Structure 1
Amino acid sequence: MRIAMIGTGYVGLVSGTCFSEFGIEVVCVDKDAAKIDMLKGGEIPIYEPGLDALVASNVKAGRLSFTTDLAEAMKGAQAVFIAVGTPSRRGDGHADLSYVYGAAREIAETMSGYTVVVTKSTVPVGTGREVARIIKETRPDADFDVCSNPEFLREGSAINDFMRPDRVVIGAESERAQEVMRQLYRVLYLIETPIVFTSLESSELIKYAANTFLATKITFINEIADLCEKVGADVHDVSRGIGLDGRIGKKFLHPGPGYGGSCFPKDTVALVKTAQDSGSPLRIVETVVDINDKRKKAMADKIIAACGGSVAGKTIAVLGLTFKPNTDDMRDAASLSILPALKAAGATVRAYDPEGMDEAKKLMPDLDYRDDAYATLEGADALVILTEWNQFRSLDLGRVKSLLKAPVMVDLRNIYEPAEMARAGFAYSCVGRPSVAAETA
């Protein structure tokens, strides 16, 4: 089989590469000529563990290629995937579908023969129907079907998520389209991966409902963490105690500074807008969005409190800037709310992240960036851990203490144990567990 993948961003590049690993011929298309030149030269524009090697092996095997020419990419393609961005629209929070609809028009102009047009981008309910209308309007004689095939990829583990998914969701309403999609996912069918066929509308809503539920779960445990701090409970014990209930599950019950990234913030807002426009508002989700926004701002106050109530004239060392580890994605990262607030309160912010520095410098150019974790700590008045990269989990605490001006650590990811930190001589603040004062010899 041969497919075209429109868009070489996170979803398009990972999905196209993984399809090629299934043995399918994939041509990835993008209007950004510089990005295509990078990919042709073996450079990967995003950080995702294992993606560079997978791209290289499939390019070498002749199954994966890159071009700016959609017409060329679609020659002989049984399916074309739309995997372009759907950012939040300025002003109203709706998903911006201009790139999706633009791709639909270009597909209509270049398709020949029966083609399955698949929306891989995260799109609101009704988008598939509109894509079909645009194609029909642009090309009345077109022979095609539109399908919805949402992605459920976690940044940092996207390749495994594609290769061994919990399920594959496909909104396809004709037998012809369903058969093409079955062939595309034949490798997963053979290992008995659940493949769920639905209507277009159900498939589109499944994606938003899934992300919104997970965002709600994160927000719930964050609020429970706040309560734990008030009543003297340990949120890790509470999380484990409820997570062992099979009806609840243990995933996404780890407290922190609030969710971020490319999906949860924009998808929760987009679903809220869709629900409001449909006359069926989602009050729970509206509250989740509000709580998460306020939580990030509250984390700056938590850091200031740990520093004695003021950070004016102080240097704060920050480890981790991306919204989660194993990615260079800075979109809606907690750092983008917390660190400017510390700057506004008079602090000098010194920061390090293993992969997110280049993007962070564009978004927060006034920070003092350092090349490694320990260089970030020298002479700082406090250390803040914002992202739980593995390399921050086993810092040399003696060295950390010797580098800091004061042994103050604010761990917003709870990667250390309070008792251990007290014995090591740190004043340690965390999330949803009792903070501790340094033990003295």
Structure 2
Amino acid sequence: MGHVCVIGIWHLGAVTAACLADLGYTVVGVDEDHDKVEALNRGMPPLFETGLQEMMAKNIAVGRLTFTSDLAEALGGASHALITYDTPVDDNDEVNLSEIFAVAEELGGHLDSGATIIVSSQVPVGTCEEIAAVVRQANPSLDFGIAYTPENLRLGQAIERFQQPEMIVIGADSEATLRRVEHLLAPIEAPRVRVDLRTAEMTKHAINAFLATSITFANEIANLCDEAGADALRVAEALRLDTRVGPGVPLHPGLGFAGGTLARDLKVLHHLSERHGYEASLINAVLAVNQRQNRVVVGRLRRILGSFDGLSVGVLGLTYKAGTSTLRRSAALEIIRVIAADGAAVKAYDPKADPEEVRLHKGFTLCDDPYAVAQDCDALVLVTGWPQFRELDFPRIRSLMRNPVLLDALNMLDADRMVEAGFRYIGVGRGRQERPA
């Protein structure tokens, strides 16, 4: 079916490479980390993603999927070169495009004439035109096309989202490029939105900004529900039934959005507005409210305990979200830092957290199971929505705790059941109804 090169192998790149190979393409994934490449060729993905290891192993076994650190070798005969770096962000959610521009320069020297560059990494609007300029500067005579197909791969559901997307947005520099991208993605059935490069880039920003705004709105309403004595979960239930809102809008109150992905797009829009002298008041407000939200949730626990100093606090969940192994920009780490800085001894457990990433973080003791976390603790905080946490033996956990305070920062547990088990249960947006044991 054709030879495809996928450049930059972490979450986006690993899923893209495996899924394209599963469609029948011969795929060569490229990453400069030799140790990672060696692990990838043994079928070991760089992080946990549901079904990814099995899909990689299957396609490696039949020879459709290989990995290398040699970009020139990988590009030989490739009709499409996909740039799939998980664009890094710093602690302020600012993007770093250095890897992408470096590989663009290399593409100029090694890309076959007539090939198509497809960018799927999250990049600021206007970046694809800059990438094309770098390639042309490296090789002015090269005939190539460039397209942008924004990824929409949710951690934990990435393979399903790749194979059955709600839509495919394709931004292209020409009709010929558009046709070549359409041909590559022909096996995937989904509505197509065909636009120019900048419109495709802006579409990704807009989707993530809307999701971020919805999450922040739900949290702001939840905070007000706590003050007013109302239940934000029932408010959200009603909102979703309104056809002007819809069932798919993320309105479940709890912690602020994390991981850097949504904030990255908000920051891009913020800087865009600054460059053009436009005050993006809504974007700025979403960033401010989200930055405050986790402190608001921790404040609920502080009001109950009075102080964290000298207490033992257990945390269930460390990863950015359920279904992945990465701790990158996770809310759990932020909450642990706040609690530990206030004098608490923190223990934590996560069923899938990457041990290498865990070792990079301090301020807590990692436990082998949730019951060890609960042992002699003064409060338990549920931060990551792993489904198996619902199945824990909560009466046993209650018996192990010194003080049965349970902060459900995701509202994922049955409040009545927790009270029956003997907990003082605290949700988010539940009307200040800290339900006593």
Which TM class, normalised by the smaller chain length?
over 0.9
Query: How far apart are 1:88 and its partner, in Å?
Result: 3.0
What pairs up with 1:347-358 in 2 under 5 angstroms? Answer: 347-356=344-353, 358=355
- Structure 1 unmatched ranges of 5 or more: none
2:238 aligned to 226, 238, 241, which one?
241
Instruction: Work out whether residues 409 and 429 of structure 1, in 8 Å CA contact, stay in contact via their aligned partners in 2.
Output: yes
Aligned to 2:69: 68
Match of 2:385 in 1: 388
Paired residues, what number? 434
**Once the two structures are superposed, what CA deviation does each residue of 1:365-409 show, in whole Å capped at 9, x if it has no partner?**
231110011111111111110111111112212101111111111
1:172 deviates by 1.0
Decide whether aligned partners of structure 1 residues 438 and 85 sit closer, same or farther in structure 2, where only a CA change above 3 A counts.
closer
- 244-253 vs 76-85, which moves further: 244-253
Question: Are residues 1:59 and 2:63 paired?
Answer: no
CA separation in 1, counterparts of 2:89 and 2:323? 24
Using the TM superposition, give the Cα deviation of residue 293 of structure 1 relative to its aligned residue in structure 2, in angstroms.
Answer: 1.0
What residue in structure 1 maps to residue 285 of structure 2?
287
Please give the per-residue CA displacement for 1:1-60, whole angstroms capped at 9, x wherever unaligned.
Answer: 211011001111111111111111111001111100111122221110100000011111
Q: 1:407 to 1:89 in 2, by over 3 A?
A: closer
Residue of structure 2 in register with 1:323 after alignment: 320
Contact 1:265 1:332 in 2 (8 A): no
Contact 1:384 1:411 in 2 (8 A): yes
Which segment is superposed worse, 74-83 or 169-178?
169-178
Shift of 1:279: 2.9
Query: What are structure 2's unaligned runs of at least 5 residues?
Result: none
Report the equivalent of 1:157.
Answer: 157
The answer (yes or no) to whether the contact 2:43–2:60 under 8 Å persists in 1 is no
The whole-number CA distance in structure 1 between the counterparts of 2:258 and 2:174 is 37
Counterpart-to-counterpart distance in 2, 1:311 and 1:144: 60
Name whichever of 296-305 and 110-119 sits farther off.
296-305
TM-score (norm 2): 0.96
Match runs of 1:2-17 below 5 Å: 2-17=3-18
Residues 299 and 338 in structure 1, CA contact (< 8 A), matched pair in contact too: no
Aligned equivalents of 1:107 and 1:312: distance in 2?
55
Shift of 1:277: 1.6
> What is the letter of the counterpart of residue 176 of structure 1?
A
The one-letter code of the counterpart of 1:56 is A
> Which position in structure 1 is the counterpart of 2:79?
78
CA contact (8 A) 2:427 2:434 kept: no
Q: Work out whether 1:433 is the aligned partner of 2:434.
A: no
Q: Is residue 79–residue 112 contact of structure 2 (8 Å, CA) maintained in 1?
A: no
Structure 1 CA distance, aligned partners of 2:121 and 2:317? 28
Whether the 8 Å contact between 1:323 and 1:331 is mirrored in structure 2 is: yes
Distance 1:217 1:238 in 2: 14
What corresponds to 2:252 in structure 1? 254
Q: Which residue of 2 is the match for residue 102 of structure 1?
A: 102
* Aligned twin of 2:371: 374
Range with bigger deviation, 116-125 or 260-269: 260-269
> Hey, what's the Cα distance between the residues in 2 that align with 1:16 and 1:216?
32
Q: Kindly indicate whether residue 112 of structure 2 is the aligned counterpart of residue 115 of structure 1.
A: no
Change beyond 3 A, Cα 1:272–1:138: same
Query: For residue 275 of structure 1, what is the aligned residue in structure 2?
Result: 273
In the alignment, the residues of structure 1 paired with residue 408 and residue 150 of structure 2 have an alpha-carbon distance, to the nearest angstrom, of 35
Shift of 1:262: 4.1
Match of residue 187 from structure 1? 187
Q: What pairs with 1:222-237 in structure 2 (closer than 5 Å)?
A: 222-237=219-234
Q: Secondary structure at the match of 2:6?
A: strand
Q: Secondary structure at the match of 1:225?
A: helix
Superposed counterparts of 1:125-164, under 5 Å = 125-164=125-164
AA paired with 1:350? K
Matched to 1:107, the amino acid is: L
The 8 Å contact of residues 239 and 250 in structure 1, kept in 2 or not, is answered as no
Question: Residue type matched to 1:412 in 2?
Answer: A
Q: Is the Cα contact below 8 Å between 1:6 and 1:80 reproduced in 2?
A: yes
Matching residue's letter, 2:42 = G
Q: CA separation in 1, counterparts of 2:418 and 2:367? A: 25
Contact 1:108 1:139 in 2 (8 A): yes
Judged with a 3 Å threshold, the aligned counterparts in structure 2 of structure 1 residues 122 and 162 are, in CA distance, closer, same or farther, namely same
Distance 1:357 1:31, change over 3 A: closer
* Alpha-carbon distance in 1 for matches of 2:404, 2:164: 44
TM-score w.r.t. length of structure 1: 0.95
Give RMSD over aligned pairs.
Answer: 1.5
Please list the CA deviations of residues 206-245 of structure 1 after superposition, one character each: whole Å capped at 9, or x if unmatched. Answer: 1111111101100000001011111111111100100112
CA distance in 2, matches of 1:315, 1:90: 28
Q: 1:133 to 1:437 in 2, by over 3 A?
A: closer
Alignment partners' CA distance in 2, 1:90 and 1:324? 18
Q: For structure 1, which segment, 269-278 or 168-177, has the greater mean C-alpha deviation from structure 2 after superposition? A: 269-278
8 Å Cα contact 1:27/1:65 also seen in 2: yes
CA distance in 1: counterparts of 2:262 and 2:408, whole angstroms: 23
- Separation in 2 of the partners of 1:249 and 1:328? 31
Task: Identify which of 168, 172, 194 aligns with 1:197.
Answer: 194
Asked if the contact 2:47–2:354 (Cα under 8 Å) also holds between the matched residues in 1, the reply is: no
Contact 1:418 1:436 in 2 (8 A): no
Q: Does 1:176 align with 2:172?
A: no
- C-alpha displacement of 1:95: 2.1
How far apart, in 1, do the equivalents of 2:10 and 2:104 lie? 17
Structure-2 residue corresponding to 1:424: 421
Q: Which amino acid aligns with 1:154?
A: R
Q: Which residue of 1 aligns with 2:29?
A: 28
**2:337 match:** 340
User: 1:126-177 deviations in whole A, cap 9, x for unaligned?
Assistant: 1111111111111011000111111011000000000000001111132221
How many Å separate the matches in 2 of 1:302 and 1:249? 30
Q: What is the distance in 1 between the residues matched to 2:355 and 2:246?
A: 36
Change (3 A) 1:13 1:214: same
Seq. identity, %: 37
What is the CA-CA distance between 1:359 and the residue it aligns to? Answer: 5.0
Query: Is this contact kept in 2: 1:421–1:438, CA < 8 A?
Result: no
Q: Secondary structure at the match of 1:186?
A: coil
